[in-house]
Chains A and B, each alone.
Chain A
Amino acid sequence: GAVVSQHPSWVICKSGTSVKIECRSLDFQATTMFWYRQFPKQSLMLMATSNEGSKATYEQGVEKDKFLINHASLTLSTLTVTSAHPEDSSFYICSASDRRQGNFEKLFFGSGTQLSVL
């Protein structure tokens, strides 16, 4: 399978600060990556679709100015939570599709980032 690396695994920050989360495809090129958010005891909710070299597509209700997504290369997408507040505390997960034969039907996920905003 393909490997998706997400960093950091957890982060604690003060309210009002910004936090950047990185998502890397280690052994394949990912033209498309996805960002999910998961609150405790709930399922994953798709936040946005990140396309290399173009603007991200956000799901309804997700503030694009608050959750900045940059997909500047074929192996890296970043999610920046700007001016974080306690209600942004959540588990953030990235995923990528690998278009190589045998893998293109599947999504591969990072290990997630637990964000706690104080």
Chain B
Amino acid sequence: DAKTTQPPSMDCAEGRAANLPCNHSTISGNEYVYWYRQIHSQGPQYIIHGLKNNETNEMASLIITEDRKSSTLILPHATLRDTAVYYCIVRAISNSGYALNFGKGTSLLVTP
């Protein structure tokens, strides 16, 4: 799996957009970009994933650069409940079941 690099921590004011960057310069053509988050003392939660097109769902938007070497997760209107560790993971999809390898992630603190 391609390696990812994320800033260790970020702050964001409540109500503002939180933009979390991720570098994955060694990503392969068949690898997707996934984002999960982990609120303290809970299991990780799926947020979004994409291959090369930008994606949006009810939780967030995922912007992937044209060369696919980096991406940004956008939480459009951050709330205090979005305070969590956000993990960017690159992985090829396999229908035989697959594990995710978690890096250190970005600890996002949303402040009032």
Contact = CB atoms under 8 A, between A and B. Distances in A.
Asked if A pairs with B, the answer is yes
Interface of A: 1, 4, 6, 31-32, 34, 36, 43-46, 49, 51, 91, 93-95, 97, 99, 104-112, 114
B42 A44 contact: no
Interface string B6-24: 0000000000000000000
Contact of B97 (A31, A36, A114): A31
A95 B46 CA distance: 11
B103 A43 contact: yes
B104 A95 contact: no
Contacts of B44: 44, 93, 95, 107, 109
Given A43-B103, A43-B104, A111 B43 contact: yes
Contacts of B98: 97, 107
Is the contact region of chain B dominated by helix, strand, or loop, or is it mixed? loop
A50 B98 CA distance: 11
A111 B49 contact: no
10 contacts: A4-B43, A36-B102, A46-B99, A95-B99, A97-B98, A105-B32, A107-B98, A107-B100, A111-B43, A112-B42
Interface residues of B, number: 23
Lowest 10 CB-CB distances: which A-B pairs, in order? A32-B97, A109-B43, A44-B102, A43-B102, A106-B46, A34-B99, A97-B97, A109-B44, A112-B43, A93-B43
A43 B105 contact: yes
Which of B41, B45, B87, B104 counts the most chain A CB atoms within 10 A? B41
